[in-house]
Amino acid sequence: MGESPGGGAERSGCSGGRGQPPARRRLFFALELDEACRAGLAEAATGFLAGVPGRALASADWHVTLCFLGAVEESLLASLCAQAALLEASGFVLHFERLAYWREAHVFAALAAPPPAAALQLAEALRTRSRALGLSPDDKPLRPHVTLMRVASRQARLAAAAPRAMPVHCSLQATEFQLFESRDAPAPHAASTTAPGTTAAGTTAAGATAAGPSRYRSLARWPLRP
């Protein structure tokens, strides 16, 4: 498969051995939301999460995880990118159908309909190639979702466990997948309880980031076949 415009794996952060980066990086493969999908979810989430106690994720960080890898040795980064570049996977569409509290993960999320075969195949191929490098990817079945807000305290979890869901109609056309790095969480004072897609003052700004810096950085991307 080809790599992203602008220079391939090394220029996308997958050089693996230049400079003095950390010994390990917390990595995952994921889909980035396009602007239309991000704006649609932001508009719906603004009302759905109003007054809910929790920590909203910046909408710039919204994504659909395909394969979570955890801490990966820096020396394996170039090999991981090379394996991803060998995949010949087809594009697909994910249809988000509801916003809901996901009790197992203690998050409010946009949940998609059962994923198409192409999405399942891509996720499994990424796990297989990761294992070939000696990594231990998360083996839970793919359940496409976008985390909107994390519920931290036990009291908030109990409150959020009450039945609460809202239909939503938003689709994501997956035309590429990316390797992301998860960086340190924002400092506590930067955490936001503002609903995603709103400014600190509460005015609607679909697609705008919530307060606080972005937690995730894209290292490389690869196209999916039409």
For 3-45, how does the pLDDT look when each residue is reduced to its tens digit (9 = 90+)? 444 444 443 456 555 555 558 999 999 999 999 999 999 999 9
- pLDDT tens digits, 37-80: 999 999 999 989 888 878 899 999 999 999 999 999 999 999 99
Mean local confidence (pLDDT), 126-149: 96
Q: What is the mean pLDDT of residues 198-209?
A: 32
Q: What is the pLDDT of residue 143?
A: 96
Question: HSE on the CB side for 209, CA within 13 Å?
Answer: 11
The pLDDT > 90 percentage for the chain reads 61
Q: Does 2 fall in a domain?
A: no
Look up residue 18 and give its amino acid: R
Is residue 128 situated within a structural domain?
yes
User: Which residues are within 8 A (CB) of 7 and not within 5 positions of it... i.e. 6 or more apart?
Assistant: none
Q: Specify if 46 maps to a domain.
A: yes
CB burial of residue 24 (10 Å; 0-12, 13-18, 19+): middle
**Residue 159: inside a domain:** yes
Q: What share of the chain is helix, strand, coil (3-state, %, to 5)?
A: 25, 35, 40
Q: Residue 132: what pLDDT?
A: 97
Mean residue pLDDT across the chain: 82
CA nearest 172: which of 65, 70, 57? 65
Alpha carbons 164 and 144: distance in angstroms, whole number = 19
Residue 120: which of 141, 138, 139, 135 has the closest Cα? 141
DSSP 151: -
How confident is the model at residue 2, as a pLDDT? 46
CATH code of residue 169: 3.90.1140.10
Phi first, then psi, for residue 148 (nearest 5°) are: -100, -40
The model carries a pTM of: 0.80
**β-strand pairing of 107-112 with 145-150:** antiparallel
In this model, does residue 156 exceed pLDDT 80?
A: no
Indicate the pLDDT class of residue 205, thresholds 50, 70 and 90: very low
65, 201 contact by CB (below 8 A): no
Indicate whether 147 belongs to any domain: yes
Q: Is residue 117 part of a domain?
A: yes
Q: Taking residues 141-152, what's their average pLDDT?
A: 93
Asked whether the predicted pLDDT for residue 97 surpasses 80, the reply is yes
How many independent structural domains does the chain possess? 1
For residue 57 the two structure tokens come to 């994720």
Task: Indicate whether 171 belongs to any domain.
Answer: yes
Residue 5's pLDDT is 40
Domain that holds residue 153: 8-223
Q: What strands, in cross-sheet order, belong to the sheet with 176-182?
A: 63-73, 24-32, 176-182, 216-223
Give the residue from 146, 176, 151, 147 showing the smallest Cα distance to 162. Answer: 151
Q: Quick one: angle between helices 77-85 and 117-132, nearest 10?
A: 140
